[in-house]
Amino acid sequence: MVRRGIVTSRSVHLTTCQNGPSRRGVPSESESWLMLAAVLRNTGDTDLDVTDTIEVNDPGPDDVIVKITHTGVCHSDVSAMNGTIPQPVPAVLGHEGAGVIEAVGDNVTEVSVGDHVIVVWSPPCGACQFCVGHKSPNLCTTVQFGSMMIPHFREGGSDVNAMAGAGTFAERTLLPKQAVVKIDDDIPLDIASLIGCGVMTGAGAALNTAKVAPGSSVIVYGAGGVGVAAIQGARIAGAAEIVAVDLNDAKLDDAKRFGATHAVTPDDVEGISAEITGGDGFDYALECIGNPITMRAAFDAVRRGGTACIVGVGRPEEMVQFSAFELFFMEKTLVGSYYGGTDVRSDFHKLLRLYKYGKLDLEGMITRRITIDEINPALEAVRRGEVIRQVIEF
């Protein structure tokens, strides 16, 4: 259900949103739309406030406004609520989204009104040492941190932040132009939204960060949206064995649909490792939960010389311990993976081509489609580990 109201203000002229986009530019005096958004009022709240009192701010010369059509619910949204991921409040949460460009600032030539786009929660500036020198554009913070400093929304006279500079749990959001990747109009936007976080993160962790090799053995901890994408990434890379580990039995069945050759609860990891690797350990482990215990378990699950890749996000104060001897003796690679080590400009399109030819199952990852009014039960389902992805449709 969508409720909208009109107010008179200095805000962007969004007359396009009823009948489809028709104009470019940062407009002048006019009416703006109040819109539905899900707001975190206080860190520690277990519910978001679904309200129609939020407005999007005017785009600057290098900004765009995206009409969000679809946004996935990721565990990181839950983590922003409970303080695992630091997030100034009040904030519109959501960071996995896709939609249509509704307005562009004067300097924006890369996209136009009406373009279909995926939202990028960590956009590369394209010019800094991380983007150019280190060839790690996922680690560029220039645009993201700059964007996070600017309130994207307002409510009455007060500022409202956007999670990770994205804020996709709203009918529209304000983004720097680098934070959108244009896609073809025939790609379903619900599918596209998943690429914006969970799918890129999980598949990218397997393909870009761990660089899973053909014929190798892989164990993936956690079969939520990120873990299922990691399983698919490992399958695409040509892994021989892919073991999914999850507490939830239903998730073990799910994991097999996406390419896991084996699926076990944590208690059975040792047994399956003995069966597949003779007890040496797996070539790769991908931790897609965010728990220090499973991070340590992932490190333990790989063989001497193997790679443990940590994708899950734990609290800043939580620690994982390593023996000062084992690091040398086991010669394992321990690597974090931020946004799947992606260069979004090329990787989003690669993943969409894999989807197009049936090699990446994105449709099957959508457990349910919901409205923004159903966000709180949806977040609870994520906490209980019951779902792969839930997609909000506006």
- Smallest gap from Cβ 247 to ligand PAD, in A, equals 4
Q: Which residues bind ligand PAD (CB under 6 A)?
A: 74-76, 79, 197-198, 201, 221-227, 245-248, 251, 266, 288-291, 294, 311-313, 337-339, 382, 385
The CB-of-254 to ligand PAD minimum distance in angstroms stands at: 8
What's the min distance (Å) between Cβ of 7 and ligand PAD?
Answer: 35
Min CB(169)–ligand PAD separation in Å: 15
Return the DSSP state at 154: E
Helix, strand, coil percentages (3-state) for the chain, rounded to 5, are 35, 30, 40
Instruction: Give CA–CA dist 290/273, Å, rounded.
Output: 22
Binding partner of residue 288 among Zn ion, ligand PAD, none, CB under 5 to 8 Å per kind? ligand PAD
- CB of 221: closest distance to ligand PAD in angstroms? 6
55 binding partner (options Zn ion, ligand PAD, none; Cβ < 5 to 8 Å by kind)? none
Residue in the shown chain whose Cβ atom is closest to Zn ion: 74
- Residue 323, classified by CB atoms within 10 Å of its CB into exposed (0-12), middle (13-18) or buried (19+), is exposed
Say how far apart CA 223 and CA 113 lie, in whole Å: 37
Contact of residue 247 among ligand PAD, Zn ion, none (CB under 5-8 Å per partner type):
ligand PAD
> Would you call the peptide bond into 90 cis, given omega within 30 degrees of 0 as the criterion?
yes
Which residue in the set 16, 32, 51, 76 belongs to the binding site for Zn ion (CB under 5 A)?
A: 76
Q: Is the Cβ of residue 288 or residue 344 nearer to ligand PAD in the bound state?
A: 288
φ, ψ of residue 19 in degrees (nearest 5): -110, 15
Binding residues with Zn ion: total (CB under 5 A): 3
- Cross-strand bridge partners of residue 264: 245
Bridge partners of 263, per DSSP, are: 244
Q: Quick check: 172 and 97 in contact, CB under 8 A? A: no
Q: Is 74 a residue that touches Zn ion (CB under 5 A)?
A: yes
Work out what residue 258 binds among Zn ion, ligand PAD, none; the CB cut-off runs from 5 to 8 Å by kind.
none
- With contact defined as beta carbons under 8 Å apart, do 196 and 95 qualify? yes
Strand locations in 15-123, DSSP E?
A: 30-40, 49-56, 63-73, 91-92, 96-104, 116-119
Q: Which is nearer to ligand PAD, 26 or 139 (CB)?
A: 139
Query: In degrees, to the nearest 5, what angle opens at C-alpha 174 toward C-alphas 6 and 80?
Result: 105
Taking CB under 5 A as the binding criterion, the range among 74-82, 181-189, 234-242, 363-371 that sits at the site for Zn ion is 74-82
Instruction: Determine if 197 is a binding residue for Zn ion (CB under 5 A).
Output: yes
Cβ closest to Zn ion, residue 197 vs residue 379: 197
Q: How far apart are CA 199 and CA 66, in angstroms?
A: 21
Nearest to 162 by CA among 89, 81, 101: 89
Rounded CA-CA distance 5/259 in Å is: 46
Shortest distance in whole angstroms from residue 323 CB to Zn ion: 32
**Contacted by 338, from ligand PAD, Zn ion, none: CB < 5 to 8 Å by type:** ligand PAD
Rounded distance between C-alpha atoms, residue 347 and residue 370, angstroms: 27
For residue 234, the minimal CB distance to ligand PAD (Å) is: 15
For ligand PAD, give the closer residue by CB, 75 or 172: 75
CB of 85 to ligand PAD, least distance (A): 7
Instruction: List residues bridging with 34 in a β-sheet.
Output: 5
Q: Which two tokens stand for residue 321?
A: 């311990």
Question: Which partner, ligand PAD, Zn ion, none, binds residue 245 by CB below 5 to 8 Å per kind?
Answer: ligand PAD
Residues of this chain that bind Zn ion (CB under 5 A): 74, 76, 197
